[in-house]
Structure 1
Amino acid sequence: MKLKGAEIMCESLLREGVEVIFGHPGGAILPFYDALWSYPQLRHILVRHEQAAAHAADGYSRVTGKVGVCVATSGPGATNLVTGIMGAKADSVPMVAITGQVSRASLGTEAFQECDICSIAASCTKKAFMVMNPADLADTVREAFYIAQEGRPGPVLIDVPRDVQLELTEAVFPEVTAVPVPEVSQEALERIKEAARLINEAERPVIISGHGVMTSGANQELKSLAEQSGIPVITTLLGLGSFPGGHPLSMGMLGMHGMYWSNISVDQADLIIGVGMRFDDRVTGKVDTFAPHARIIHMDIDPTQIGRNVPVEVAIVGDAKALLQNLVPLVSNTPRPDWMQYIENLKRDHPSLAIPSSDTLLPQHVMSNLNTLLQEDPETTVVTGVGQHQMWAAQFLSFNQANSFVSSGGLGAMGFELPASLGAQVGRPGAPVWTIAGDGGFQMTLQELVTISEEKLPVKIALINNGHLGMVRQWQEMYFENHLKAVPVPGPDFIKLAEAYGVGAVRVTEQEDVMPALRQAQAHDGPFLIEFVVDSTTNVYPMVPPGGSLADTIEDPAMARNPVI
Structure 2
Amino acid sequence: MKVRLTVAQALVRFLSVQYSERDDQRQKLFAGCFGIFGHGNVAGVGQALLQSELADPDALPYILARNEQAMVHTAAAFARTTNRLQTYACTASIGPGSTNMITGAALATVNRLPVLLLPSDTFATRIATPVLQELENLGAGDISVNDAFRPVSRYFDRVSRPEQLPSALLNAMRVLTDPVETGAVTVALPQDVQAEAFDWPEELFAEREWHVARPLPETTILDQAAELIRTSRRPLIVAGGGVAYSGANDVLRTFAEATGIPVGESQAGKGSLPYDHPQSLGAIGSTGTTAANAIAESADLVIGIGTRYADFTTASRTAFQNPDVRFVNLNVARFDGGKHAGLPVVADAREALTALTAKLNGWSVEDEYRAESLQLAQEWDAIVERTYNPPAEVTGKLAAGLLTQGEVLGCVNELSDPRDVVVCAAGSMPGDLHKLWRTRDGKGYHVEYGYSCMGYEIAGGIGVRLGAPDRDVFVMVGDGSYLMMATELVTAVQENVKVIVVLVQNHGFASIGALSESLGSQRFGTSYRYRSGDGRLDGDYLPVDLAANARSLGVEVIEVDGRAELEKAIGIAKAAAGPMVIHVRTDPLIGAPDSESWWDVPVSEVSTLESTSTARAAYEESKAGQRAYMAPVTYTREVDD
Q: Specify the alignment match of 1:24 in structure 2.
A: 36
Aligned pair 1:418/2:478, yes or no? no
Q: What do the CA deviations read for 1:271-292 (whole angstroms, capped 9, x no partner)?
A: 1110000112111124267343
Q: What do the CA deviations read for 1:448-489 (whole angstroms, capped 9, x no partner)?
A: 111111211111011122112011110122221525324336
Measured in 1, the distance between the counterparts of 2:120 and 2:127 equals 12
Measured in 1, the distance between the counterparts of 2:52 and 2:86 equals 20
1:179 is matched with which residue: 166, 189, 211?
Answer: 211
Give the 3 Å change call, closer, same or farther, for CA 483–458 of structure 1 in structure 2. Answer: closer
Q: Shift in Å at residue 345 of structure 1?
A: 4.0
Q: Which moved more, 1:338-347 or 1:147-156?
A: 338-347
SS at 1:104's partner residue?
coil
Residue ranges of structure 2 left out of the alignment (5+ in a row): 19-27, 136-143, 530-541, 601-621, 627-641
1:252 is matched with which residue: 275, 282, 289?
Answer: 282
TM-score, normalised with respect to structure 2: 0.81
SS at 1:281's partner residue?
coil
Residue ranges of structure 1 left out of the alignment (5+ in a row): 553-565
Measured in 1, the distance between the counterparts of 2:16 and 2:521 equals 57
Partner AA of 2:411 in structure 1: N
Contact 2:304–2:330 (8 Å) recurs in 1: yes
Measured in 2, the distance between the counterparts of 1:318 and 1:109 equals 50
Q: Specify the alignment match of 1:2 in structure 2.
A: 4
Q: Specify the alignment match of 1:297 in structure 2.
A: 328
Contact 1:57–1:95 (8 Å) recurs in 2: yes
Partner AA of 1:394 in structure 2: H
Q: What aligned pairs does 1:108-147 form with structure 2 within 5 A after superposition?
A: 109-114=129-134, 116-147=144-175
Q: Shift in Å at residue 342 of structure 1?
A: 2.5
Q: Specify the alignment match of 1:448 in structure 2.
A: 488
Q: Specify the alignment match of 2:598 in structure 1.
A: 545
Give the 3 Å change call, closer, same or farther, for CA 70–491 of structure 1 in structure 2. Answer: farther
Q: Specify the alignment match of 1:563 in structure 2.
A: none
Partner AA of 1:34 in structure 2: Q
Q: Specify the alignment match of 1:50 in structure 2.
A: 68
Q: What do the CA deviations read for 1:27-86 (whole angstroms, capped 9, x no partner)?
A: 111211111112122221111110111111111111123123211111111110011110
SS at 1:393's partner residue?
helix
Q: Shift in Å at residue 138 of structure 1?
A: 3.4
Q: What aligned pairs does 1:290-369 form with structure 2 within 5 A after superposition?
A: 290-292=320-322, 293-308=324-339, 310-312=340-342, 314-331=343-360, 332-347=362-377, 351-353=382-384, 354-355=386-387, 356-357=390-391, 358-359=394-395, 360=398, 361-369=403-411
Q: Specify the alignment match of 1:33 in structure 2.
A: 46
Q: What do the CA deviations read for 1:288-346 (whole angstroms, capped 9, x no partner)?
A: 673434221011122222334x232x221122222222211111341422212322443
Q: Specify the alignment match of 1:556 in structure 2.
A: none
Measured in 1, the distance between the counterparts of 2:70 and 2:528 equals 25
Contact 1:259–1:352 (8 Å) recurs in 2: no
Q: Shift in Å at residue 103 of structure 1?
A: 1.6
SS at 2:104's partner residue?
helix
Measured in 1, the distance between the counterparts of 2:145 and 2:209 equals 29
Q: What do the CA deviations read for 1:138-173 (whole angstroms, capped 9, x no partner)?
A: 342232122122132211001011121111112234
Measured in 2, the distance between the counterparts of 1:177 and 1:491 equals 54
Q: What aligned pairs does 1:183-332 form with structure 2 within 5 A after superposition?
A: 183-184=215-216, 188-287=218-317, 290-292=320-322, 293-308=324-339, 310-312=340-342, 314-331=343-360, 332=362
Q: What aligned pairs does 1:372-411 form with structure 2 within 5 A after superposition?
A: 372-374=414-416, 376-378=417-419, 380-411=420-451
Aligned pair 1:460/2:513, yes or no? no
Aligned pair 1:434/2:474, yes or no? yes
Q: What do the CA deviations read for 1:207-228 (whole angstroms, capped 9, x no partner)?
A: 1110112222222222222122
SS at 1:119's partner residue?
helix
Q: Shift in Å at residue 377 of structure 1?
A: 4.1
Partner AA of 1:283 in structure 2: T
Contact 2:37–2:93 (8 Å) recurs in 1: yes
SS at 2:125's partner residue?
helix
Deviating runs (4+, > 6 A) in structure 1? 549-552
What number of residue pairs does the alignment pair up? 546
Measured in 2, the distance between the counterparts of 1:288 and 1:240 equals 20
Measured in 2, the distance between the counterparts of 1:388 and 1:341 equals 32
Q: Specify the alignment match of 1:498 in structure 2.
A: 550
Q: Shift in Å at residue 551 of structure 1?
A: 8.3
Q: Which moved more, 1:240-249 or 1:442-451?
A: 240-249
Q: What do the CA deviations read for 1:399-452 (whole angstroms, capped 9, x no partner)?
A: 333333222211110110011111222222232111110111111001111111
Measured in 1, the distance between the counterparts of 2:264 and 2:624 equals 14
Aligned pair 1:91/2:73, yes or no? no
Give the 3 Å change call, closer, same or farther, for CA 551–264 of structure 1 in structure 2. Answer: farther
Measured in 1, the distance between the counterparts of 2:282 and 2:128 equals 52
SS at 1:58's partner residue?
helix
Contact 2:106–2:153 (8 Å) recurs in 1: yes
Q: Shift in Å at residue 368 of structure 1?
A: 1.1
Structure with the greater alpha carbon radius of gyration: 2
Partner AA of 1:364 in structure 2: G
Contact 1:439–1:491 (8 Å) recurs in 2: no
Q: Specify the alignment match of 1:526 in structure 2.
A: 578
Partner AA of 1:54 in structure 2: V
TM-score, normalised with respect to structure 1: 0.91
Q: Specify the alignment match of 1:71 in structure 2.
A: 91
Contact 1:303–1:317 (8 Å) recurs in 2: yes
Q: Shift in Å at residue 112 of structure 1?
A: 2.1
Q: What do the CA deviations read for 1:249-284 (whole angstroms, capped 9, x no partner)?
A: 111111111111111111111211100001121111
What's the C-alpha RMSD, in Å, of the aligned pairs?
A: 2.3
Give the 3 Å change call, closer, same or farther, for CA 352–74 of structure 1 in structure 2. Answer: farther
